[in-house]
A and B are shown apart, each in its own frame.
Chain A
Amino acid sequence: MMNQIPFFIFSFIAILMALGTITARNPVYSVLCLILTFFALSGHYVLLNAQFIAVVNLIVYAGAIMVLFLFVLMLLNLNKATEAAKPVLWQISGAIAAGLILVTLAGALRGASDFMVKGGPEAAGIGLVKNLGKMLFSDFVLPFEISSILFLAAMVGAVYIGKREKQEEGEQ
């Protein structure tokens, strides 16, 4: 299998860096590990013939959202390992809960591939910008416009939350 070797390489990087995200004491290292996880996931998307999603994932997640996190970390001066650990009992129960969710998900989804309809020969160009753009502006045009309203609301909300506090500090 030609695709298996890159699949395992990208999976290894993704899992290792995801574990690094949740174990790193320093939040800046967490952000950097998460960016590498997103790079590995973009590699997966390229392997899956979803080139548009791969590029958008890099631009939006690794480029915009993670830089926003990094800015906030630097702005709040949190680039040191100052986090207190949770109690051991809480850590053990959290790890057990996450493991149980993993077992449940894997068990529930194990036979799902038997019910799937395999894509026809037209599936080749499915992830390209041409096809996705056509679908986005014909079948999904209403959610597309609604998401722009969501963005506007999020922008106004973020500015309002960040601004009101400054005025109160000025009054004091």
Chain B
Amino acid sequence: MMNAESLTPVDQYIYLSSLLFCIGVAGVLLRKNAIVILMCIELMLNAVNLLFVSLSTYMGDASGQIFVFFIMVVAAAEASVGLAILVMVYRNTRATNINVLDQIKN
């Protein structure tokens, strides 16, 4: 039986997910390897998932957890298509550096 008083205060979950999201943003801004950038996007999606689940539990509404389910679906589709694009870029340029992507239009 869950009672709301035994849980961690929801503020701490908000801070934790904000911090994880910003670590993901920093990774996207600081790294050059496109695969690592995709992984940082996954990290940001997971930070949002954590916030969804914590607020869903604290408000007693299961819709948030259904949304987390759909976020996972979209993340899986995004990862598969993104990695396919990266494999194609690697075949053409022999690199996954994002700096080669500005020469891609022709």
Contact = CB atoms under 8 A, between A and B. Distances in A.
A100 B65 CA distance: 29
B101 interface: no
Interface in B69-93: 69-70, 72-81, 83-88, 90-92
> Number of contact residues on A: which range applies?
35 or more
Nearest to B31: A22
A140 B67 CA distance: 10
A127 B62 CA distance: 7
Contacts of B10: 113, 116
A54 B63 CA distance: 16
Contact of B60 (A72, A73, A112, A126): A126
Interface in A93-136: 94-95, 97-99, 101-102, 105-106, 109-110, 112-113, 116-120, 122-124, 126-127, 131-132, 135-136
Contacts, number: 246
Contact of B19 (A2, A15, A49, A60): A15
A75 B86 CA distance: 12
A3 B65 contact: no
Interface of A: 1-4, 7, 11, 14-15, 18-19, 21-22, 27, 30-31, 34, 37-38, 41, 44-45, 47-50, 52-53, 56-57, 60-61, 64-65, 68-69, 72-73, 75-76, 78, 83-86, 91, 94-95, 97-99, 101-102, 105-106, 109-110, 112-113, 116-120, 122-124, 126-127, 131-132, 135-136, 139-140, 143, 147, 150-151, 153-155, 157-159, 161-162, 165, 169
Given A41-B46, A48-B13, A140-B66, 13 more contacts: A21-B43, A22-B27, A27-B33, A64-B76, A68-B79, A68-B83, A84-B97, A94-B30, A101-B22, A113-B11, A122-B60, A136-B69, A150-B74
5 contacts: A94-B30, A119-B4, A150-B77, A154-B81, A161-B88
